[in-house]
Structure 1
C-alpha cells in the first residue's frame, strides 16, 4: 500500500509538558496534568510505530482528547468558555509549506474503515472546531478550507479504491466496476480542482498524484464500460471505449513519471510499478484485441469517431465520511478539579519567553519496505 498512496508529511508538534506548577493546586488537578502529558506522549509515539493498529490508535486518541476537553468544555453546560481555554499554546508545523504491498481481507477492511473515519475527522474539524480558533486560519495552510476539503475528498477516493479492488477480485458486474471507477476518478478530479489556486511550489506534487489517479480510474471506467457495451452487442462502441481507455492509461503512465520527478512535500508513491497498475494495461490491451476480433468476424460495426459519454452512477460501494465526535469528557474532570486550577498564580510572562524545549522537531515515519508487491489480492 505504501507504493500506491501518496502521503503528505506528518505534522510535527513541539513538546507540551502540562506542568502548571502553582496553578494546579490539588493532587486531582496535578493528576489530570500528568495524565495529559503521558497520553499525549503515547499518542505521538504511535504515529511512527509500524506495529500500531487502528484500535490502539483509537484508544490512545480517545484517552488524550477526553482529558484535553477539560481545557475546552464548560463543565456546567453553559455557553461560556472554560477558564482554561487559553492556558496552553500548541505549536505545529504546516504540512505543505513546512516550518522547519499485498494485503489480507481484514487489512483491506481496516484501510477502508480508517479512510472513512479520517474523512469524518477532517469534516468534523472543519465544521465544528476550526471556525472557533483564536488565530484566523492563514491561506494555504493546513486548516484552510481548500486543504481540508481536499483531504476529505482524497480519503473518500482512496477508500473507494479498496472497494474497486475487491469488486474486481470477486468479478462483480463490469457495469458496477465502471461506475465505481468513474465516481472515484471524479473524486480525484474534484480534489485537484480544490487545490488549483494554491502555490504550485507547495501543492504541485500533490496535484500530480491526484491527476494521475484521475486518469488511471478514467482508464478503468472506459475499459469496463467497453466490456458492458460488448456484452450488449455494441461492439463498435466498445472498441471506441477501449481506445479511450488506452489514451487515459498512457496519460496516467506519463503523469506517474512527472509525479516522480516533481519536487515537493510528501512521500513519493510508485503506482506505475504496482501490479494493480500494470494489470490494467494488460486488461485494456487484451479486451481491445478481443473486441476488434469479434467485430471482424461477427458484428462488422463502424467504430464511432467520438468516445461514448460516461453517464455512470454507482448504486453501491460509494463512500461517505463516518460521522465523528470527540470522546466524552474524562471522569477525572469534575467541578472541584477545574476549580483547583488557580490562574491568578500563573506567571505573567509565561508565554512571552520562548523555551528551549518548544522546538518543533520533524516526525520521521518508519521506512517500511514491502516484501512482495503482489497487488491488491483482498478476497
Structure 2
C-alpha cells in the first residue's frame, strides 16, 4: 500500500507511584495501589514497543482501566462521586505543545489522557502497517479497523468523559473540542484512504472511486478548517498535511470522474475534469515540499516520494492523454472552460467510528476494599517539604526505517 500518514507525538506523563501509604490502610487496598502502578507501567512500555499488537494493547489497557475506574465510578453504579477520585495527582503533556505538561488531581483526567494515548497508538500502528510495500489483505483490514477504533475512542472521550472534568479544558490542548474533532475526522479520512486503495485495486466502478475520493477530500478540508483557529506555531505542519491530502484526493476524484465522463461519451468534459485533476495534483506536489520544510511536531517525511503518490501522477497524465487522443479521433468535442460540477455522494465505503466503551470495573473493587482507603489521613510521602518537580520525559517512540518507496523517516 505504501500509504503515508502524518502522526503527532504521543503524550508523555510523569511517573505515578500510587504510594498512598497511610491512606491505603489495609492489605487489599495496598494491593490495588500496587496493581495500578504495575498495569500503568505496562501500558507505558507498550506505547513504545514496536512488537505490540492491538490484542496486547487492549489486554493491557483493560487491566489498567478496570482498576482505575475504582477511583472514579461508584461501586453501586450510581452517580454519586467516588471519594477516591481526587486523591492522586496526574501530569500529562500534549501532542502539539511539546513537553509543556498539564497537571490535574483527578483520576478522570488520567483515564482520558491514557485513553487518548491508546487512540494515538492505534493510529501509529495503522501507519506502520500502511507504509509497507507488501501489505497483505489482512493487514489492510487491520489498518482500516485500527483507524475506526481510534476514531471511536476519541469520540467517546469527547462525548462521555471530557465534559466530566472539574478543571476546564485549556484552549489549544488535546482535550479541547477543536483538537479532538480534528483527530476524529482525520481517522475517518485515513480509513477511507484504505477503502479507496481497495476499490482501485479491485477495479471497482470509477464513479465509486471518484465519490469516495471526493468525500475523503472533504474530510481533510474539515480537519483543515477545524485547525485554522488554533495557534499556528503548533499546528502548521499538521495543517500542511491536511491541505496536501485534500488536494491529492481532489485530484483523485477529478481523475476518476473524468473516466466516468469518458465512458458516457462526454469526452470534452472528461478532458476538462482531467485538467482539473492535474491542477490539484500540482498543488499537492507543492504542498508536499512545503510540508517537508515546515517545522513543528509530527512525522518527518517526503510524501511526494511515496509510491501511492507518484502512481496517481502517472495515472492522471496517461488518462488525460488518452482522452485527448480519443477526442482528436472520435468525439471532436469542445473542452469546457469551467471544470465539471462534482456533486458526488458515496453510497458505499464511508467510514464511521467503532463505538468504544471502557471495561467494567475490576472485581477486585468491593465495598470492603474501598473502605480500606482512609481519606482522613494524608499519604505519608505527602510531607510538608516541597517536592522536586516531576520531570516529564518524551515517549521514546519506535524508529521505523523507511520502506523503499515510502520516503518516511518516522512513523
Q: Same fold (TM over 0.5)?
A: yes
Paired residue for 1:195, among 214, 217, 227? 227
Unaligned ranges ≥5, structure 2: 101-131
Pairing 1:251–2:283 present: yes
**Of 321, 331, 335, which residue of structure 1 is paired with 2:353?**
321
Query: Against the structure 1 CA distance between its residues 213 and 354, is the aligned structure 2 distance closer, same or farther, given a 3 Å change threshold?
Result: farther
Counterpart of 2:86? 86
| Unaligned stretches of 5+ residues in structure 1 | none
1:76 and 1:366 mapped to 2: Cα distance?
42
Whole-angstrom CA distance in 2 between matches of 1:83 and 1:373: 55
Judged with a 3 Å threshold, the aligned counterparts in structure 2 of structure 1 residues 187 and 371 are, in CA distance, closer, same or farther, namely closer
Higher relative contact order (CA 8 A, sep 6+): 1
Aligned counterparts of 1:53 and 1:196: Cα–Cα separation in 2: 34
Alpha-carbon offset, residue 349 of structure 1: 8.7
Q: 1:222, 1:241 within 8 Å by CA — same for their partners in 2?
A: yes
Aligned pair partner of 1:262 in 270, 290, 294: 294
Of 175, 197, 209, the match for 1:143: 175
> Any residues of structure 2 matched to 1:153-302 within 5 Å, and which?
153-302=185-334
Confirm or deny: 8 A CA contact 1:54 1:110 kept in the other structure. Answer: no
1:32 Cα deviation (Å)? 1.1
**Cα-to-partner distance string for 1:117-154 (whole Å, 9 max, x where unaligned):** 11111111111111111211111111110000000000
- What secondary structure does 2:91 align onto? coil
1:216-273, Cα deviation, whole Å (9 max, x unpaired): 0000000000000000100000000000000000000000000110111111232211
* 1:23-34 correspondence runs (5 A): 23-34=23-34
Deviation at 1:18, TM superposition (A): 0.9
User: Which residue number corresponds to residue 371 of structure 2?
Assistant: 339
1:28 CA displacement: 1.5
Contact 1:14/1:357, CA 8 A, preserved across alignment: no
Q: Whole-Å Cα distance in 2 between the matches of residues 46 and 352 of structure 1? A: 36
* d(CA) in 2 for partners of 1:65, 1:317: 33
TM-score normalised by L of structure 1: 0.95
Q: Could you tell me how far apart the structure 2 residues matched to 1:297 and 1:371 are?
A: 43
* Aligned match for 2:344, one of 287, 312, 321: 312
State how far apart, in whole Å, the 1-side matches of 2:140 and 2:405 are: 15
TM-score (structure 2 length as normaliser): 0.88
Report if aligned partners of 1:3, 1:270 keep a CA contact under 8 Å in 2: no
Note closer, same or farther for the CA distance 1:351–1:228 as it changes in structure 2 (3 Å cut). Answer: farther
Separation in structure 2 between the aligned mates of residue 35 and residue 370 of structure 1, nearest angstrom: 38
CA separation of 1:113 and 1:354: change in aligned 2, threshold 3 A: farther
Question: For each residue in 1:306-343, what CA deviation from the matched residue of structure 2 results, as whole angstroms up to 9, or x when unmatched?
Answer: 00111111111100011111000011011111111111
Question: Which residue pairs with 2:124 in the alignment?
Answer: none
CA apart distance, 1:295: 0.4
- Whether the aligned pair in 1 keeps the contact of 2:15 and 2:390 (CA below 8 Å) is yes
Q: Give the 3 Å change call, closer, same or farther, for CA 127–352 of structure 1 in structure 2.
A: farther
Distance between the aligned counterparts of 1:286 and 1:354, measured in 2?
A: 70
Q: What corresponds to 2:73 in structure 1?
A: 73
Q: CA deviation at 1:27?
A: 1.7
TM-superposed CA distance for 1:347, in Å, is 3.9
CA RMSD of aligned residues (A): 1.7
CA distance in 2, matches of 1:303, 1:79: 66
SS in 2 for 1:247: helix
- Does structure 2 conserve the Cα–Cα contact (< 8 Å) formed by 1:4 and 1:270? no
CA distance in 2 between partners of 1:169 and 1:369 (Å): 26
Q: Take 2:316 and 2:94, find their aligned partners in 1: how far apart are those partners?
A: 41
- Tell me which stretches of 4 or more aligned residues in structure 1 moved more than 2 Å: 98-101, 347-358, 370-375
1:12 aligns with 2:12: yes
**Cα deviation, residue 344, structure 1:** 1.0
Whether the 8 Å contact between 2:3 and 2:308 is mirrored in structure 1 is no
Does structure 1 residue 50 correspond to structure 2 residue 82?
no
Contact persistence 2:70–2:365 (CA under 8 A): yes
Kept in 2: contact 1:3–1:269 (CA 8 A): no
* Distance in 2 (alpha carbons) for counterparts of 1:227 and 1:354: 70
